[in-house]
Amino acid sequence: MGKMLHDAQRAIDVLEASADVDAERIGAIGHSLGAEEAVLLAAFDQRVRACVASCGYATLAAESNRLCWARDEWFSYMPKLRPLLLRGKLPGWDWDDVIRLIAPRAFFQYTADNDQIFPESRSAHQAALAAGDAWSLYNASERFTARLGAGRHDFPDEQRREAYRWLDRQLRRTPADD
């Protein structure tokens, strides 16, 4: 994950250097692993003005198989968590904490209620709702959306279209910008 975030930040560097890109209107969107990366990227890089995440996680507290985040084989999202998780401990953070780091910038999360990849996916929706209070503190509630939809690990057309429209509104140009 750290390598992926580093690469994504270098991509933002390239975008910012391009004369064709408005650096004030950079967004990140992702589904599944891409959602996790988009959330972490937005949390740790203020240049991301809007973030859309679809079916990206279950909270560490709710996850029945926490070691999926720190496997010792195949792809390991956060390998440095492995010793802690093996001891049955949780890190001092969970996804709601990460999402709060994005406030007051724009954040949209879609969660499927019957996600076969993240069986405890409803916890992700609850985490997003809990984090949403941060946007209220900034009087920026219009920049926060959390949706829970029926279905499996997917970003259905209807929800994807809603997310794209939302992203366009968050990053739109106004006549004053021209």
Number of domains the chain contains = 1
Q: Are 2 and 79 in contact (CB under 8 A)?
A: no
* Whole-number pLDDT of residue 73: 84
pLDDT score of 31 more than 80: yes
Residue 74 domain-assigned (yes or no): no
Predicted structure pTM score: 0.93
Residue 36 domain-assigned (yes or no): yes
Q: Are 99 and 43 in contact (CB under 8 A)?
A: yes
Percent of the chain with pLDDT over 90: 88
Residue 150 domain-assigned (yes or no): yes
Mean pLDDT is lowest, of 72-76, 106-110, 132-136, 159-163, for: 72-76
Largest CA distance in the chain: 56
* Whole-number pLDDT of residue 178: 42
Q: What is the mean pLDDT of the chain?
A: 94
Percent of the chain with pLDDT over 70: 97
pLDDT score of 161 more than 90: yes
CATH of the domain at 115: 3.40.50.1820
Residue 79 domain-assigned (yes or no): no
What's the pLDDT tens digit per position in 52-74? 999 999 999 999 989 988 988 88
Residue 72 domain-assigned (yes or no): no
In terms of residue numbers, what domain contains 162?
2-63+94-172
Q: Are 30 and 56 in contact (CB under 8 A)?
A: yes
Output the six-digit token pair for 39. Answer: 């959330």
Task: Give the number of other CB atoms < 10 A from CB of residue 121.
Answer: 24
Torsions phi, psi for 48 (to 5 deg):
-80, 110
Output the six-digit token pair for 34. Answer: 């891409």
| C-alpha triplet 16, 19, 22: angle, nearest 5° | 55
Q: 146: Cβ–Cβ under 8 A, 6 or more apart, which residues?
A: 108, 109, 111, 125, 128, 129, 132
Output the six-digit token pair for 78. Answer: 């956060």
Residue 139 domain-assigned (yes or no): yes
